[in-house]
Chains A and B, each alone.
Chain A
Amino acid sequence: MDFYKSEMSRRKFVKIIGATGALSAVSVAGVTGCSGSSSSSSSSSDSGSTATFKLGGIGPVTGAAAIYGTACKNGAQIAVDEIKAAGGDVIFDFNFQDDEHDPEKSVNAYNNLKDWGMQILTGPTTTAPCVAVSAETNSDNMFELTPSASSTDVIGGQPDADGNVSTPRKSNVFQMCFTDPNQGTASAKYIKEQSLGTKIAIIYNNSDTYSTGIFKKFTSEAQAQGLEIVSTTSFTDDTATDFSVQLNDAKNNGADLLFIPIYYTPASLILKQADTMGYKPKFFGVDGLDGLLTLEGFDTSLAEGVMLLTPFTADATDSATQSFVSTYKKDYDGTPNQFAADSYDCVYAIKQAIEKAGITADMTYTDICDKLVAAFTASDFKFDGLTGTGMTWSDTGEVSKDPKGMVIKDGAYVSM
């Protein structure tokens, strides 16, 4: 009898746990929905005589990676507004949805945008959601150009470190940013060329595809370049609080350069803990570190001297960058990072391709996709933007452009 009773209650327990989980999911989704709709209202344009292209965007506007999504949203919005103000045949109606850096919510956002009538997608901003959404766009044949999701799983068709191709090429997906392997390779080359360090330690996030992707390529390229890796340690999203062991390992092995291919939130903890223990190596990061300086409450003096590889610098002197930076500062009260610039470039690259292929807004998204893919991969298609000049795309979906080294000085990014 007792046994029976306890069985019952266990079943009840599981049920209620499930209900609680579902409830909280609903409440979170409710929050997302709200912020999503409020963001789209600002951009819905009047339906004038010229037909507009419905351009969708997805990225985290709230959550741990909010800085990236917000930057992408703002960057794209500036481009859309500029294009509209300049007048012309190609005008965009832009709708940006929040995904909180969550693959499931990102796919929901994509479905929302499809209901809205989206014809072209620029996004998602972050890697894991983008991998999920690109599978959907691929089966729908919706053109997708992501500003910043850098994993090769996004575009597919790339061999991993062992030479296996895990996901086939998604022919409708293109990237504006470097791929993770490219970031890893470029970082190792840059460190060698500039002789930034001889003994290198690496701390990477083992539960994140972005971080492990860069880490693998960096290690193999570092060996090819003759750089000595003295310490390799990792962490997971659940253990991203205490880095004393990892830092001690790097310190005891005499590392003079610490390579951190991770996002800025754990990086801020690493910088703080290294400072507390009095360990002062050079820090070298990748584009995930962008956002460190705008983290609320972060002591920016800890980031002094941190280096990162990025295609965009807000202090560049060319007129295009300067006008973009001043518009961004005026509209959004802050200095744009490379995510904003990548997103800005995405909109203009799509515009250029639309004009080249002679696409009109009354076409279906599938037709638009086929024509855009042909335009992007055409050998005479070259795009000049904020994040590089003469950018080209191959059939693989990867972009080819040059990275720039940046260093943080007095709380701002400066070219190295």
Chain B
Amino acid sequence: MDFLTNLINGISLGSIYAIIALGYTMVYGIAKMLNFAHGDVIMVGAYICFCAMGYLGLSPILAVLLSIVGCTVLGIVIERLAYKPLRNAPSLDVLITAIGVSYFLENAALLIWKSDPKSFTSVVDLPSLSLFDGQLVISGVTMVTVLACVVIMIALTTFTTKSKQGKAMRACSEDQGAARLMGINVDSTISLTFAIGSGLAAIAGVLLCSAYPTLTPTTGLMPGIKAFVAAVLGGIGSIPGAVLGGVLLGIIEIFAKAYIGTQMSDAVVFAVLIIALLIKPSGLLGKQIKEKV
């Protein structure tokens, strides 16, 4: 039973990592850049939701929607102002800009919301599910998170394979020059990717803070880094890979805490990344890309 409880806690934590990792992987897969500001967009999303519920008195659903809209707009603005001018610059320049955007968002949040922690009210108002005479308790947030993760994964996969816009995204991912020749608007496709990624970040932020209700300007930092690890572990650029990587990472983290020691969990998580990359450099579900020299 102990094992099962830990497994469920791991899946719950992992599903949150997975939703964040989906945002990373979408942007990397299509725009070929690591958006290190993603973790901070999560934090902004959580703050918008907190303010909408706490100060404006909106219902949780409206607050989440407002948060998604807010983050989507933020994502597009960041892309326009910070990343678009660097479209033809070396990828390192874009990476540094992303780190700069991340710092900017954190410090802006520090100015607006101050750094005293806020206690986030859960948006999920479902009762916990109690199994085996209360020996196994699954909280409402856990169920919603896992469900949201699966739904988002299926929706994203369908979108990128079936819809016209999704096909355009994959075309951009494969070869931006050729896509442009085929009449695809590469700029607006990349903007759309950022919009989707940032909207996902809002959902991830709300779910993260519903499960672990402390909100500070650095809330997104550690989950952001772990989700990046998850995306790399699963194979960055692959949508099912991000989910697999996220869930695996969550389970590894909780199991490491439970069976190795509460102080060692982060060391184990990052050691797993190193080992996985040594054995399979492109990640678990990543495509092996052969480059012609």
**Are A31 and B111 neighbours in the complex by a CB distance under 8 Å?**
yes
Contact (A62, B130) CB under 8 Å given A27-B107, A297-B121? no
Please give, as numbers and ranges, the residues of chain B lying within 8 Å of A28 by CB-CB distance.
107, 110
**Are A20 and B99 neighbours in the complex by a CB distance under 8 Å?**
yes
Set A12, A206, A278: member contacting B263, Cβ < 8 A: A206
Closest residue of chain A to B256 (Cβ to Cβ) is A245
Set A100, A241, A246: member contacting B214, Cβ < 8 A: A241
Closest residue of chain A to B136 (Cβ to Cβ) is A277
Say whether A211 faces chain B, with CB atoms less than 8 Å apart.
Answer: no
Q: How far is the CB of B211 from chain A (nearest CB, A)?
A: 8
Provide the B80-117 mask, 1 if CB < 8 A to any CB of A, else 0: 00000000001010001001100100110011001111
Q: 4 tightest CB-CB pairs across the interface, nearest first?
A: A298-B119, A297-B119, A245-B257, A244-B9
**Can you offer 12 A-B residue contacts whose CB atoms are under 8 A?**
A12-B92, A17-B96, A28-B110, A64-B116, A66-B114, A244-B254, A265-B117, A268-B213, A296-B117, A297-B54, A297-B120, A299-B121
**Are B266 and A238 neighbours in the complex by a CB distance under 8 Å?**
yes
**Are B213 and A235 neighbours in the complex by a CB distance under 8 Å?**
no
In the complex, A27→B100 CA distance in Å? 13
Q: How far is the CB of A216 from chain B (nearest CB, A)?
A: 15
Please give, as numbers and ranges, the residues of chain B lying within 8 Å of A62 by CB-CB distance.
114-116
Q: How far is the CB of A72 from chain B (nearest CB, A)?
A: 15
Say whether B2 faces chain A, with CB atoms less than 8 Å apart.
Answer: yes
Set A13, A27, A242: member contacting B254, Cβ < 8 A: A242
**Are B119 and A296 neighbours in the complex by a CB distance under 8 Å?**
yes
Provide the B16-49 mask, 1 if CB < 8 A to any CB of A, else 0: 0000000000000000000000000000000000
Say whether B159 faces chain A, with CB atoms less than 8 Å apart.
Answer: no
**Are B266 and A31 neighbours in the complex by a CB distance under 8 Å?**
no
Q: How far is the CB of A104 from chain B (nearest CB, A)?
A: 16
Given contacts A295-B119, A297-B118, 10 further A-B contacts (CB under 8 A): A16-B96, A17-B96, A17-B99, A20-B99, A28-B107, A236-B266, A245-B254, A245-B262, A246-B257, A276-B137
Please give, as numbers and ranges, the residues of chain A lying within 8 Å of B216 by CB-CB distance.
64
Please give, as numbers and ranges, the residues of chain A lying within 8 Å of B130 by CB-CB distance.
278
Say whether A248 faces chain B, with CB atoms less than 8 Å apart.
Answer: yes
Please give, as numbers and ranges, the residues of chain A lying within 8 Å of B50 by CB-CB distance.
297
In the complex, A277→B5 CA distance in Å? 10
Q: How far is the CB of A174 from chain B (nearest CB, A)?
A: 29
**Are A296 and B13 neighbours in the complex by a CB distance under 8 Å?**
no
Say whether A399 faces chain B, with CB atoms less than 8 Å apart.
Answer: no
Set B6, B110, B213, B265: member contacting A31, Cβ < 8 A: B110
Please give, as numbers and ranges, the residues of chain A lying within 8 Å of B222 by CB-CB distance.
238, 241
**In B42-87, which residues have CB < 8 Å from any A CB?**
50, 54
Say whether A47 faces chain B, with CB atoms less than 8 Å apart.
Answer: no
Q: How far is the CB of A203 from chain B (nearest CB, A)?
A: 9
**Are A64 and B117 neighbours in the complex by a CB distance under 8 Å?**
yes
In the complex, A182→B252 CA distance in Å? 38
Q: How far is the CB of A333 from chain B (nearest CB, A)?
A: 16
**Are A278 and B137 neighbours in the complex by a CB distance under 8 Å?**
yes
Set A233, A252, A265: member contacting B262, Cβ < 8 A: A233
Closest residue of chain B to A297 (Cβ to Cβ) is B119
In the complex, A303→B92 CA distance in Å? 49
Provide the B158-179 mask, 1 if CB < 8 A to any CB of A, else 0: 0000000000000000000000
Please give, as numbers and ranges, the residues of chain B lying within 8 Å of A246 by CB-CB distance.
257, 262
Chain A interface SS verdict (over half): helix
Say whether A67 faces chain B, with CB atoms less than 8 Å apart.
Answer: yes
Please give, as numbers and ranges, the residues of chain B lying within 8 Å of A252 by CB-CB distance.
2
Say whether A23 faces chain B, with CB atoms less than 8 Å apart.
Answer: yes
In the complex, A298→B137 CA distance in Å? 23
In the complex, A13→B137 CA distance in Å? 47
Say whether A234 faces chain B, with CB atoms less than 8 Å apart.
Answer: yes
Say whether B134 faces chain A, with CB atoms less than 8 Å apart.
Answer: yes
In the complex, A20→B223 CA distance in Å? 21
**Interface size of A in residues (CB-CB distance below 8 Å):** 45
**In A19-36, which residues have CB < 8 Å from any B CB?**
20, 23-24, 27-28, 31
Set B13, B115, B223, B254: member contacting A64, Cβ < 8 A: B115
In the complex, A16→B103 CA distance in Å? 13
**Are B107 and A272 neighbours in the complex by a CB distance under 8 Å?**
no
Closest residue of chain A to B54 (Cβ to Cβ) is A297
**Are B119 and A268 neighbours in the complex by a CB distance under 8 Å?**
yes
In the complex, A276→B50 CA distance in Å? 20
Please give, as numbers and ranges, the residues of chain A lying within 8 Å of B121 by CB-CB distance.
297, 299
Say whether B128 faces chain A, with CB atoms less than 8 Å apart.
Answer: yes
Closest residue of chain A to B111 (Cβ to Cβ) is A31
**Are B13 and A245 neighbours in the complex by a CB distance under 8 Å?**
no
Closest residue of chain B to A264 (Cβ to Cβ) is B117
Set A9, A20, A269: member contacting B213, Cβ < 8 A: A269
Please give, as numbers and ranges, the residues of chain B lying within 8 Å of A100 by CB-CB distance.
115
Say whether B139 faces chain A, with CB atoms less than 8 Å apart.
Answer: yes
Say whether A239 faces chain B, with CB atoms less than 8 Å apart.
Answer: yes
Q: How far is the CB of A356 from chain B (nearest CB, A)?
A: 39
Q: Which of B6, B139, B223 has the most CB of A within 10 A?
A: B139
**Are B103 and A20 neighbours in the complex by a CB distance under 8 Å?**
yes
Contact (A248, B119) CB under 8 Å given A236-B263, A277-B137? no
Q: How far is the CB of A21 from chain B (nearest CB, A)?
A: 8
Contact (A239, B116) CB under 8 Å given A20-B103, A276-B128? no
Say whether B258 faces chain A, with CB atoms less than 8 Å apart.
Answer: yes
**Are B262 and A234 neighbours in the complex by a CB distance under 8 Å?**
yes
In the complex, A252→B135 CA distance in Å? 10
Set B116, B263, B266: member contacting A66, Cβ < 8 A: B116
Say whether A254 faces chain B, with CB atoms less than 8 Å apart.
Answer: no
Closest residue of chain B to A237 (Cβ to Cβ) is B222
Say whether A63 faces chain B, with CB atoms less than 8 Å apart.
Answer: yes
Q: How far is the CB of A45 from chain B (nearest CB, A)?
A: 28
Please give, as numbers and ranges, the residues of chain A lying within 8 Å of B103 by CB-CB distance.
20, 23-24
Contact (A239, B2) CB under 8 Å given A9-B92, A20-B99? no
Q: How far is the CB of B86 from chain A (nearest CB, A)?
A: 14
Q: Which of B106, B111, B116, B263 has the most CB of A within 10 A?
A: B116
Please give, as numbers and ranges, the residues of chain B lying within 8 Å of A276 by CB-CB distance.
128, 137, 139, 141
Q: How far is the CB of B154 from chain A (nearest CB, A)?
A: 27
**In B197-216, which residues have CB < 8 Å from any A CB?**
212-214, 216
**Are B100 and A20 neighbours in the complex by a CB distance under 8 Å?**
yes
Q: How far is the CB of A344 from chain B (nearest CB, A)?
A: 22
Closest residue of chain B to A279 (Cβ to Cβ) is B137
**Are B6 and A245 neighbours in the complex by a CB distance under 8 Å?**
yes
